Amino acid sequence: MSSNDVRDMLDLPDSGSTRPAKKQKLTAPRPVLKGLAREIQNLSGDNPIAIVPEVSAFKKKRYGSRKPVAKWEQKPFKNSARDGDPLVLRHWRRKEEKPPAPPVGEDGNVEMEEAVAPIAEEMVEDSTFAKYNVRVNVPEYTEEEYNAKLQNQDWTKLETDHLVGLAYEYDLRWPVIWDRYEPPLPAPDSADSLLGLVLPPKIRTVEDLKARYYSVAATMMAERKPPIKMNSAEFNLHEVMSNFNPAIETARKKFAEAAFQRTKEEAREEESLLLELKRILARSDKLNEERRELYARLEAPPSTGNIGIYSSSQGLQQLLQQLMQASKKRKSLMGSEGISPAAGPSQQASFERRDSSVRESISGPSGSNNNKKGPPPGPSERRQLTEEEEKIYGVSHHERIGASGAAFRHEKISKPLISKSSVQQTKIANVLVELEIPNRLIMPTVEVGEAYESLLQSINTLLDARKLADKLDGEIKLARQQKEEREKAARLERGEAVEGDEVEGNNKTEKEKSVARSVRGGSVARSVRGGSQGHKRSASVLSATSEQNFQRSKEYRLRH
């Protein structure tokens, strides 16, 4: 499209130039303007587009908005990291009138120079680098804490103090600490000097120093804040410090040194040996695989099925086909999973053909030698797990499980409690609260469940004992009353005859009976105690008879 076409479209008068002439012009080399689409360039036709790149504008502007030269001055400063050193140095800073200087200035222009003129104290500012003077946090401990937690046969408190001091002074730079470590001599009144012996200072390696320092630091850290409450960064630090092992560290250094010292030839030899090892391992892996397969084949139980059908040539043909199928299957099985293919393929192949009655006869024996517990597991082979695997996968065997299906451990653990009467429940709950055992177990695992159960049992025993004690108290009270009455009666009898004697006698016998009964009831309760926990609380001795009946019926139920 050319300008002519545009003119045409807009009904503008022709500019006069003819098409062929323009064609010629188009072919002529044109100044190529970069950064413009071809179509737009073409639109302009013969006259080039007037786009003048403004090159000089930037420079001019810069000259135009020139500011007066920034003023700099030498300013004094001090460094608070110098531990109270009154030294004052000066550096070049921008003058204050202007808005704050760019930070580049202070970095690039710091010039340490002796202060010459005395400067007013309030003028002196602190160095911006003072904040980088960070001291390490070394563990702090008091005398009691040291005696309680940090005692160590190998280290005296003096030595530990010295070590911690050095660690602080040299910012945990261990080689330096090791170099400067000079254990202070024990005080003259200490036990060692009393013996007249001056022990030579122990020679300690960097690892010894580190081990001591880390153990102290970790102990104090745990002391200040229990590990369970630390955030993860603190916890990781604590873990690292408490797991420091000087022996491993020494071995590592030795190894590194040896690796550093070895010659070129040794390095090359090692490399080739490693390659060799890799090859050997690969080969042994392959060998193991083959051996496993072989064993799997050998382990296949001998078929107890009828071989009569294979006696004919037709039967043999069938067998061959089965075997082919079986070997195909075996391959796919071996590839995917580590399931032992013992008896799997060959039997499966035969299952496809045989009727169900034959299947039963075969799965019987194979089930019994693969399965210790429970009935034989049907045609698909159950994977036999090792003890370790059972632990990993949380598999356990039980004589009988109440209900099959999904359940939750905590419910199961708390079931014996829930199945009791509400009176009993509240009693047990009260005891548990007294013992500060929370309502919900924190970790309802198997072991915790067992512990909980045995605790509940002993609580039950205690509650039963208490109940029995209450009952006995009642009986004792009653017996005392009776005794008093008897004595009174006896005294009366001896003194003068009372008309109501006969009535009282009747009373007595009745009471005696009830006492005897309740005693029997008590002994029954004692004998049944532990096994049964459901007896109702008897409020008084007088209800003993009903309780006795209850016990009897219970006994009866137990017996039958």
Burial class (CB in 10 A: 0-12, 13-18, 19+), 455: middle
77 with 90: CB under 8 angstroms? yes
In a 3-state reduction of DSSP, which class is residue 51? Answer: coil
Region of 50-58, 197-205, 389-397, 418-426 interacting with another protein (CB under 8 A)? 389-397
The contact pattern for another protein, residues 209-228, with x = CB under 8 A and - = no contact, is ------------------xx
Q: Which one of residues 110, 431, 492, 528 is an interface residue with another protein (CB under 8 A)?
A: 431
* 445 near another protein, judged by CB under 8 A: yes
Q: Which one of residues 401, 423, 498, 503 is an interface residue with another protein (CB under 8 A)?
A: 401
* 494 near another protein, judged by CB under 8 A: no
In the bound state with another protein, the residue whose beta carbon lies nearer, of 305 and 379, is 379
Region of 57-65, 113-121, 298-306, 368-376 interacting with another protein (CB under 8 A)? 368-376
In the bound state with another protein, the residue whose beta carbon lies nearer, of 74 and 445, is 445
The tokens of 161 are what?
């103090």
* 248 near another protein, judged by CB under 8 A: no
Tokens 């064993």, residue? Answer: 295
Q: Which one of residues 7, 330, 359, 410 is an interface residue with another protein (CB under 8 A)?
A: 410
The tokens of 436 are what?
């500060």
Region of 53-61, 294-302, 321-329, 479-487 interacting with another protein (CB under 8 A)? 479-487
Shortest reach from residue 531's CB to another protein, in Å:
16
Size of the site for another protein (CB under 8 A): 83
What values do phi and psi take at 200, rounded to 5?
-65, 140
* 367 near another protein, judged by CB under 8 A: no
Region of 165-173, 178-186, 484-492, 539-547 interacting with another protein (CB under 8 A)? 484-492
Pairing of strands 72-78, 89-94: antiparallel
Which residues, numbered 326-365, are part of the site for another protein (CB under 8 A)?
337, 339
Cα separation, 413 vs 456, whole angstroms = 11
Region of 270-278, 307-315, 326-334, 383-391 interacting with another protein (CB under 8 A)? 383-391
The secondary structure of residue 560, as a DSSP letter, is -
The secondary structure of residue 101, as a DSSP letter, is P
The residue among 533, 526, 513, 525 whose CA lies nearest residue 551 is: 525
DSSP annotation string for 451-513: HHHHHHHHHHHHHHHHHHHHHHHHHHHHHHHHHHHHHHHHHHHHHS--TTHHHHHHHHHHHHH
* 85 near another protein, judged by CB under 8 A: no
* 476 near another protein, judged by CB under 8 A: yes
